[in-house]
Amino acid sequence: MTAMLSRSDEYLHDPLFQAVLQVAEAEERREQQMRILSGLAQGSPARVYAEHVLSEIDRTIVLSRMHQELIESLLAE
């Protein structure tokens, strides 16, 4: 017996949808981190660490966008 996939289940198995979602979630985390940074004192250990986290989030966004672009190019072939 074959189970029918619901529309939401179809999206879970769609690599392009997942890539777009990953970019959106990383961008949201970046915005949250920027809000945290705005409340921290310049030069404080907490701010230095928060800036490090922000740089890692930025790196994740770049990689996620590259992944999305790769999937888009593969699907276009």
Q: What are phi and psi of 72, to 5 degrees?
A: -60, -40
Distance CA 45, CA 8 (A): 43
User: What's the domain count of the chain?
Assistant: 1
Domain that holds residue 22: 13-76
Return the SS3 of 39.
coil
Per-residue pLDDT, averaged over 29-58, amounts to 97
Distance CA 2, CA 48 (A): 53
Per-residue pLDDT, averaged over 32-37, amounts to 98
- The 10s digit of each residue's pLDDT in 6-17 is 666 777 789 999
Is the confidence at residue 54, as pLDDT, over 80? Answer: yes
Give yes or no for a contact between 68 and 19, defined as CB atoms under 8 angstroms apart.
yes
pLDDT score, position 5? 55
Question: Maximum Cα–Cα distance for the chain, whole Å?
Answer: 62
The answer to whether residue 67 is domain-embedded is yes
The answer to whether residue 7 is domain-embedded is no
- Given pLDDT bands bounded at 50, 70 and 90, which one contains residue 77? confident
